[in-house]
Chain A
Amino acid sequence: MASPVLYSSAEAEVIAVQEAERSRSPVGPLEFHRRKWLWAIAGATLLFLYIPLLSLMVFSFNNSRRNIVWQGFTTDYYVRAWNNASLFEAFTNSLTIAIIATLVSTVIGSMVALMLWRFRFPLKPVYEGFMALPIVIPEICMGVAMMAFFSAISWPAGGPWPLNLSAIIIAHIAFCFPFVAIVVRSRLVGFNRELEEASKDLGASEWQTFRYVIIPFLKPGLVAGALLAFTLSLDDFVITFFTSGPNAITFPVKIYSMVRFSVTPEVNAASTILIVITVIATIFAVRLQSPAKTAA
């Protein structure tokens, strides 16, 4: 994201004059950003995208169970959601799964990215095709495959926490690390291979080059990939729905069971918290991937 540029007042005046001249001139054939009907479509779509979410967030503070007419501000439903033991447990489970899955898939994904970036090997396109498969196949197919797999090898569903989450974590890593690999690989495209050669010429070992040249360069890509994995894991419903045992409920699965019965302010409150977490993580990820930052 571009950071706001501060103009001096003289510059600002010049810009204002230019803007005024441009707005008076007729719309040029390629000046599509000045065509009102395009803005109308974009505006209507943004309203369509945001009104449901914003109303959900706003009405989570509404002091009414009927949930539709504004009755006054309250944080009561946040307190209730917080004190709802099973909701809280589901939330903790989700965070635990997301953190472990993020750590593992960031490591595995970056290793795959480095391997694909550095090496030429037989059947590479086939390997890359298989690597992309977890991203492209329908989630439900992956979900049922995981369910069938864990039942076929009779993976223990119970056990003490966090072992009861192991199946979900494994499944999450399986669909997260290819995404990390893509993000890290796109960062590697901008790497000047001469730096690596220079490092080796100067006597650095393979490991030293990796540790002091490649890792620092990769850092924004690693963080962006990790945040992507984190949000993907936190958001996943379908695959978790199929892999979770009876006593390993995650936040989306819990919300699903609550939503099926009724729309309640507690669900609004809990959803709002998840939305806020996701949006913050996304903004971080986008900032890290922006060209301005990567150039630095």
Chain B
Amino acid sequence: MVDMMLLIMGVLLVIQLSLLIYLYTVKTWAIKQNHEADSLFQQLFPKYLPYLTGDSDSEPNLPQNLKLKQKVLERILAGFAHVVTDPAGKQRIKEVAECHLIDSYRKTLKAGDWSERLNALYLIEEFMMDALVEDVKEHLTTREMSGEEYRQTLRTLASFQEESLLDYMLNHPNMSYRLTKEIMRRLSLDVLMDLMHIIKEKGDDTPDAVRHAFIDYCGEAGYYQLLPFIESMLNDSSKETRIKALKSLYHYHYCTRPELIIPFFTSVHWEERLHAAKLTGVMNLTEFSDYLMSLAGDRVWWVRFQACEAIKQLSDGEILLAYLSERHKDEYAQDMAKQMLTMRVGGHA
């Protein structure tokens, strides 16, 4: 038994030493690679910048080693992409990326491991390499994917304004509301207009996630061309749709006919009362201050909070809150008004 135990311990010791040697070797190599990439980046970035900005037509020489070249070029392009805003600069990034990195990314999408594929998808989108659109579409249809890789594949296609995504969203009713919205954020107004017509046409057959994400996103994007459609949704039979429409108008900070909000002040659903109060505050609708005063004594804490916050946003809000804190028949409303008087509206970092 003792001999066996000693043998096992000997094996464990060998494993441990092997582990140490492996880690030491790998780390030494990684440090060397990073150091090399860092110094190359420091050298190349100042030379490459004029080429990317269009001030120079001659491209500086990149390293011969393919891995090193890719690493350095990705850093240069990503760094430039973070600061560039003009279309010409973005076009330059796309051209350079497609010239040097396209084969590597194509190979990675087909045969790379999970993190390599995901990194490639992020950069394909960041550098707007739409020459790879067919590869990304193939990636979506041929590979079993889930989680972040699946989401990033769809986001990348959306960035390329891939119209087939509309059908894809409509035919995947289980796609999450969040992901649907992430796709919409990347679509142009023209594609969104097409989607609006489809939603109108399909009516209740539109998947809820698509319809709600669309209503919500319109406000977020602030496209006034889509405002009439959003206002029409205030009369929808679905509570969730009406709430999304109210939220969307809140993001617009606008509503063509404020009287549309009135029925929501007395809704049986507290969420509708809350969003009506929010919208009133952000639009500074002083003519609705009586409704807000009444909601300040609502039975739901959140509605009271939102009503008082909305009152504070009105031009005479401070006076109204002072009155509420003294005279409101509801003690909770008085407390909430006192809180709002002393508290700054905030919470956004």
B partners with A: no
